[in-house]
Every structure is written in C-alpha cells, then in structure tokens.
Amino acid sequence: MIEIESARVSFSLGAGEEHVVLKNLSLSVKEGQTVSIIGSNGAGKSTLLNAIAGTVPLRAGIICIDGVDCTRQAEWERARYVGRVRQNPLAGTAGAMTILDNLALASRKGPRRLKIATPPVIARRMAEEVAQLGMGLESRLHENVSRLSGGQRQALTLLMAVISKPAVLLLDEHTAALDPANAEKVSALTKRFIQEFGLTALIVTHDMSRALSEADRIVMMHDGEIIADLSGEEKTSMTVAGLVDLFRKARGRDYAEDRDLLR
C-alpha cells in the first residue's frame, strides 16, 4: 500500500549548508495496517507524513501509494487518495463556511465526484454522515464551522478526511490539542472509521499508551531515521516502560518526552 524507498528530505540553511530531516528512510506499510509513529521532538515524524502527503518534496527517494509512484505528484493530486488530520482543530475546516458546505466539498475529492444534485439531496446525505459523530451536528448543518467547539471541529475534520474513502489516512497528533473527554471521543471515532473504511493509517503521537493500544505496529524514529519497528507478538507484548527502554538502548539516552509517558 505505502512503499517508501530511501526518502531524503532536507532544508537549506544558506551558505551551502542544509538541515537533513529524513535520512534515506525506507518504510513499507501493508494495506489496512494501522501504524503508530513515535519518537522525540525533531525526529522527523511530521516530516514523514508531509512527505507522504506531498506537502514537502523529497530530495531523493521514491514514494508509492497503492502501487502508484506519486513522488513527483503535487499535494492536491495526492489528496484524491490521502486523507489527513493535523493537530490544530482549526486547520482542517473552513470556519467561514457551513458544516454542510465543508462536508460537500470534502466528499467531492477523487475521481468519483458527486453528480449535480439539489441541495436537499446533498443535505440529507451529509446529515446521515455527520450523525455518525454523535455530537448533534446533523441539526446544525447550516451553521458556520467557526461556531463549533475544538472537539466538534476536529471530529468534523476527521469525518471530512474519510468521507471520500481515501486509500491512506494520515493523523498528526490529532487529539493532542483536545481536552481528555474530546480526545477520547475523537480517538474512538478514529478507530471506528479506520475499521469501517478499511483504511491504511499512520498516526503520529507522543502518547505511548495510545500508540500501543491503537495500532497494529509501532515505528520509532529518531534524528530522521527509523530505529525500531515492532509488530506481531513483539508489539503485543510491549509496554510503555519497554518502549522507553528500547529508545535508551537504541540511542543511549533518555526519551525526550518522559512527561508524556504518564498519560
């Protein structure tokens, strides 16, 4: 499903110097697999997702999604088969537009676009979709998204990311900015949508407990490289303390976000 070979991402610092963020990284993710990506700040986790989404270009290497080489495709081209939710609840929706308009636009991504239909037809379908969130938004379709709470807005963003049935779902700390109650709601919706739509998902998180419970596989990054890749029995038997110890052994230092391990 996702094949990344020797991906290199770097940014110019001027005077002929560059900062290398991904160092010839290779990763293969099977169809339908959920992968948690963990690591210290600056490890390259978000940059990896940006590279897959086409937000940042590769200096070298290849990225294939569902058998298609998309290395040179623009971000808007990949949006046909890549859904994404960022950490900021405001980033994935247009606040000045209504809930209905946001959902209708998101549903039109991809080669199978909606045919021209009357507004009531679209509204009925979108009301059915948004009712899945369990937040009562189906009765507020004509309100601007800016009036929603952070949790409601992030749940809507998640629905918008999956409504067009993408091949890949990229989640970048998508519950980190929410209060605990809303984080749990969005997390539960995430698991539900991944299962219902059979999505291949990559989830960047600092929350080790969540990483262990919500994914089939854990990829640990540091300094632009993958330093551990756990799946099967190795992942199933792993604990938070075991992950911290694994990081220490792999890099000879403490995990930089020990405070996050207590969640």
Distance CA(73)–CA(55), nearest Å, equals 10
CATH number at residue 132: 3.40.50.300
Residue 247: the pLDDT is 86
Name the residue with tokens 């009531």. 120
Instruction: Report strand pairing: 2-14 vs 60-65.
Output: antiparallel
Q: What number of other Cβ atoms are within 10 A of residue 175's Cβ?
A: 25
Confidence (pTM): 0.90
Residue 118: the pLDDT is 41
Domain count, the chain: 1
- Distance from the first to the final alpha carbon of the chain: 32
Residue 110: the pLDDT is 52
Residue 114: the pLDDT is 45
SS3 21: strand
Residue 12: the pLDDT is 83
Residue 261: the pLDDT is 44
Residue range of the domain that includes 8 = 2-262
Residue 112: the pLDDT is 46
Distance CA(256)–CA(113), nearest Å, equals 45
Residue 262: the pLDDT is 38
Residue 119: the pLDDT is 61
In the structure encoding, which two tokens stand for residue 21, read together? Answer: 């963020």
| Average confidence (pLDDT) per 10 residues, the chain, 263 residues | 96 84 96 95 94 96 95 93 93 92 80 50 84 92 94 95 93 93 93 93 93 94 95 94 87 58 41
Contacts of 8-12 with CB under 8 Å at 24 or more apart are: 8/58, 8/59, 8/60, 8/61, 9/44, 9/47, 9/50, 9/51, 9/56, 9/57, 9/58, 9/59, 9/224, 10/59
Residue 223: the pLDDT is 92
